[in-house]
Structure 1
Amino acid sequence: MTTDQQPHALATGPLDVRLLALEPGPEERTFGDAPVTYALVALRHEGRLLLVLERERGTWELPGGGIDPGETPRVAAARELREEAGQVIAPEALRFVGFSKTAFADRPVAYGAVFAAETTAVRPFTPNEEIAAIHWWSGEPEIPGGLLQTVDTYLAERARSTPPA
């Protein structure tokens, strides 16, 4: 597909990531053109958004990752939040926002389940093999240490404006 044939992106980001759509639920929805392979969490505390610095990509992004076999996207989202950022939110406390349809430079198009939550209790973070740091983002255009994944910040803003189901 040439550049002029690519679908219009809602948002673009570093590493040639393109958000093609934010699709509504239900959470159990499936898609004929690509699988739901990942889950993301837009977690806020006192109005600030949690971002993680992913070591390999060098980008500040929403906590999240792959859905394990037999795992629901909601459970995967809570697990990834805990593993990547040390923050604990019960799966049932997450608010389902929708499905992001994302094009990546080095992988096929995939869907991700997007969830949102608020927390009053921030837990300490310990860097790990995958995540170098966390940052409670207040909207600054740059964060030292990595590139800001603007596709994720776009999704987080949409999550903020999406009413509960």
Structure 2
Amino acid sequence: MSDSPAPLATGPLGMRLLAFERLPEDTGFTEAPVAYSLVALWHAGLLLMVHVRHRDCWELPGGSIDPGETAREAAVRELREETSHPIAPAALTFAGFAKTSLPTKRVLRGALYHAETAHPTAFEPNDEISAIHWWNLEDPLPYGRLQTVDSYLATLVRA
């Protein structure tokens, strides 16, 4: 029997949300480094979700932080690459760090940002993202699986 607390949320691909830490954005960690960024982008009360082709899963826009890049810069870049939506770094509000694990990977942290947009941009499918959907967090998504860890995180910063 394990003494580990139950995860806050679990996902369909084995991801586990171990904690959500509301710490300053510039917090440094010696264990479980900040390795990715996520963006909860809202428009008229709806959340932008992306359908990741190779995982057949609806997720928040985001991804790995490149060498020399800040978590905020990665969030801006990933949002643009995945959805064509440009956003100024200053328009993002930092919410905290998601501490997550996958069955085959070590524990990592992800920086979670959120923002509101008045003008959604047009989207063209690409090699990574097959579709986007503005979601109300309740109705079923059009197809595929939902990354429930991401939807849980979005509820923490719901616009």
Q: TM-score, normalised by structure 2?
A: 0.95
Contact 1:142 1:148 in 2 (8 A): no
Gaps of 5+ in 1: none
Q: What residue in structure 1 maps to residue 117 of structure 2?
A: 119
Shift in CA distance, 6/133, structure 1 to aligned 2, threshold 3 Å: same
Size of the aligned set, in residue pairs, is: 159
Aligned to 1:82: 80
> Of the candidates 21, 36, 39, which is equivalent to residue 38 of structure 1?
36
Q: CA–CA distance in 2 between the matches of 1:56 and 1:108?
A: 21
Residue 110 of structure 1, aligned match among 108, 111, 125: 108
Q: Which amino acid aligns with 2:119?
A: A
- In structure 2, distance between residues paired with 1:85 and 1:145: 18
The residue type equivalent to 1:107 in the other structure is: K
Identity of aligned residues (%): 56
Q: Which runs of 4+ in 1 moved over 4 A?
A: none
Rounded to whole Å, the distance in 1 between the matches of 2:105 and 2:128 is: 19
Secondary structure of the 2:54 match is: coil
Task: Quote the residue 2:131 is aligned against.
Answer: 133
Q: State whether structure 2 residue 26 is matched by structure 1 residue 24.
A: no
Letter in 1 for 2:78: E
Q: Which residue of 2 aligns with 1:9?
A: 7
Q: Deviations over 1:130-154 (max 9, x none)?
A: 1010000012353122101111011
Distance 2:90 2:106 in 1: 30
Deviation at 1:30, TM superposition (A): 1.7
Residue identity in the other structure for 2:52 = E
Which letter maps to 2:132?
A: I
Match of 2:51 in 1: 53
> How far apart in 2 are the matches of 1:112 and 1:45?
23
Q: Which runs of 5+ in 2 are unaligned?
A: none
Report SS of the residue matched to 2:18. strand
Q: What do the CA deviations read for 1:1-60 (whole angstroms, capped 9, x no partner)?
A: x7x454310111110111000112211112222110000000000000000000111110
Range with greater deviation from structure 2 (28-37 or 53-62): 28-37
CA distance 1:107–1:152, change in 2 (3 Å): same
